Amino acid sequence: MKHIKLFEEFSSTLSLVNEAKFKKGQYIKAKIDSDDFDGDVYDKTNDVDGSEILKNSSFEIYEIGKDEVILWSDADEVEYSIDPDDLKNFVKESLVTESEAENILQDLLDERGGDMGELYGMGMEDALDTVETYGHKGSKAKKIAKELVSMCNESVVTEKVNASGYIKAGKLGYNDQFLGRRSLSYTLSTDLGLDPKNEFSGPWLGFDHVSLYATGKNGGTILDDALTGKYTYDELKAAAAKHLGVKESFVNESSNFAKIEKEAKTWWAKRMKGRDSWDAEDMDMFIDYLMDKGLVDPNSDELSDTREELESHVEHTLGYEFGY
């Protein structure tokens, strides 16, 4: 009886260790073939007992229970049930999601001559279609697609507020249009939140000799003498914002944008663990968090606009779906 009790205590401890080591949603890889498992493998999808799991096969953990662990195979699109004690025959897969996304991003950049601007605004649907052409399926494909969306949008967002060269130049003239990594028109446009996908259709900003103009719905000349040494970068930006009706909220200010972007990426990654979508209550919590950090003014008249911009950033830039 003593031996039985000790064995039961050991088994209970082993289960606790497995639950602590592994968790729902993780990807794991088999260290050995299932022939050497302690228990049987059950194919729940096809109702087949005694199924086989091969060494180095990858799975996502769907559920961890006391009596069984449910695994999902993206490769076979099959749900398997194994004994919890057999989790010892698996190891956590390296976090390949980011590296896979980086490899795909590099291919996309190579196809576009390295122009990151062409990838800005990529949404989840396009990203998922792209990822699936590389052979990824299911939830793993979605995770890689989310990372790809984040990379495509984050890189350009960081670039768009890098106007230091133009700001340092003071009053700008005709020969000051290419002081940064991007042209003055591109930098002004993205700094005001305009979408690079609309560069040739509008709304967008451009220069005709020394005059500043806008294309699209509110198209027309903004300043006839924009590049005659009379205006600074910030003055050109303010004139363009007024013409386009763009509110220069905190999201468009370089001093706050980088901080909010960094906070958003970390906060939402934690918030969305094990979840498929977010709702209004989640956004309320995030805005409260930003207020506590001093990044959002609770008394601002533009708080509703701020919320809309944050919602768009979370759904379209970070790639987390809103639960309608």
Give CA 54 to chain center in angstroms: 33
Q: Please state, in angstroms and rounded to a whole number, the distance separating the CA atoms of residues 3 and 19.
A: 24
When pLDDT is cut at 50, 70 and 90, the band that residue 192 belongs to is confident
Enumerate the domain spans of the chain: 2-92, 96-159, 164-246, 252-317
pLDDT digits (tens, 9 = 90+) for 130-167: 988 988 777 778 878 888 887 776 644 444 456 878 88
Give me the mean pLDDT over the 183-191 stretch.
Answer: 86
In this prediction, residue 301 carries a pLDDT of: 65
Q: Is the domain defined by 2-92 classed in CATH 1.10.287?
A: no
When pLDDT is cut at 50, 70 and 90, the band that residue 42 belongs to is very high
In this prediction, residue 41 carries a pLDDT of: 93
Per the model's pLDDT, the better-predicted residue between 139 and 268 turns out to be: 268
Is residue 189 within 8 A of residue 195, CB to CB? The reply is no
How long, in residues, is the chain?
A: 324
Of 255, 282, 281, 253, the C-alpha closest to 268 is: 282
Q: Please state, in angstroms and rounded to a whole number, the distance separating the CA atoms of residues 255 and 7.
A: 61
Is residue 274 within 8 A of residue 267, CB to CB? The reply is no
Asked if the model's pLDDT at residue 296 lies above 60, the reply is yes
Amino acid, single-letter form, for residue 271: R
Q: Please state, in angstroms and rounded to a whole number, the distance separating the CA atoms of residues 122 and 111.
A: 15
Q: Please state, in angstroms and rounded to a whole number, the distance separating the CA atoms of residues 71 and 209.
A: 63
Query: Chain-wide mean pLDDT for the chain?
Result: 78
In this prediction, residue 18 carries a pLDDT of: 45
**pTM for the whole structure:** 0.36
In this prediction, residue 30 carries a pLDDT of: 87
When pLDDT is cut at 50, 70 and 90, the band that residue 10 belongs to is very low
When pLDDT is cut at 50, 70 and 90, the band that residue 4 belongs to is very low
